[in-house]
Structure 1
């Protein structure tokens, strides 16, 4: 039953997350924290960090990580397949039609309309990660819960990235 739950959960993530790995984070968070209680908020934050540092798509790395934690190697395989299966099917179908109808103005307008939704999903994931990092698992913005060292590390990393244009991988290692 757990393998089936993993497959269905990540099948939903794979089917509903448009815009890349960051856009899928709220969907993954909903499944693994709120629906199934497989991870805590703190573990989810660790999952995001690990998924970003390892090669490959963030959603696939997340599925593999959760699958291993919940059901070992079979769980990792099932969750990963669930995550990538919708993309494989969708890209196969869409590529056929896109190549056939790519010059239609209606298609170009639909693609333009999807952009704001993707940006909002990415922003939601970023804000959620920041709140957890700065205020703990409760997510409540309370002065006594502030993790000042995390805020300092965040500011230093942003300065290194934005002002000094340092390599993001080096900044992650230093952090």
Structure 2
């Protein structure tokens, strides 16, 4: 795959999804370009969340590397960074000039609400894909739902730090998988 194609796809993603790229990344990489399956996207996303740095940048590195090696990884990362960098500089200048105007502040709050909705919609799409393939008679599917519920309780309701929830649930999930005899 040409490096220019990778750069342009990720540049478009970064600019269209400014502030909330993941929903657009899912749509572009899975539904439009079909570079990844829904399952591969979920795996890349999970791996990226465990690595340091912005999740979408980690995903872009993995996808770019998959299709064009190190050059592709660098092209994808450059595409993710170049456009937003310019936009942030421009927004900083605009905010410095108009930040005290109420209409401007309300517009920023509205954009945040839209981004939250897009992230929720992507989570629902990914969950549908995961649950559609699940064999509910198998202990593995029940374990996944239980861990998902525990993560929601820890992060959403109890508002624990992500690191704490991860450090508790990762070993718990790993141990439960081996004890149930369903590790692959």
TM norm. shorter chain > 0.5: yes
**Does 1:9 find its partner at 2:9?**
yes
| Superposed displacement of residue 45, structure 1 | 1.1
- Residue 121 of structure 2 is matched in structure 1 by 124
SS in 2 for 1:39: coil
**Does 1:111 find its partner at 2:111?**
no
**Does 1:71 find its partner at 2:62?**
no
Tell me if structure 2 keeps the 8 A contact 1:6–1:79: yes
Encode CA deviations 1:71-101: one digit per residue, 9 max, x unaligned. Answer: 1100000001001111100001111121122
Mark the runs of 5 or more structure 2 residues left unpaired by the alignment: 174-184
Tell me if structure 1 keeps the 8 A contact 2:30–2:36: yes
Tell me if structure 1 keeps the 8 A contact 2:3–2:72: yes
RMSD: 2.3
| Superposed displacement of residue 34, structure 1 | 2.5
- Residue 37 of structure 1 is matched in structure 2 by 34
Encode CA deviations 1:29-85: one digit per residue, 9 max, x unaligned. Answer: 222222322212211111111111111111111111100111110000000100111
Give TM-score scaled by structure 2 length: 0.79
- Aligned length in residues: 165
Q: Which of 124, 131, 150 is the equivalent residue of 1:159?
A: 150
Q: Distance in 1 between matches of 2:140 and 2:120?
A: 23
Runs of 4+ in structure 1 off by over 4 angstroms are 144-148, 163-166
Give TM-score scaled by structure 1 length: 0.83
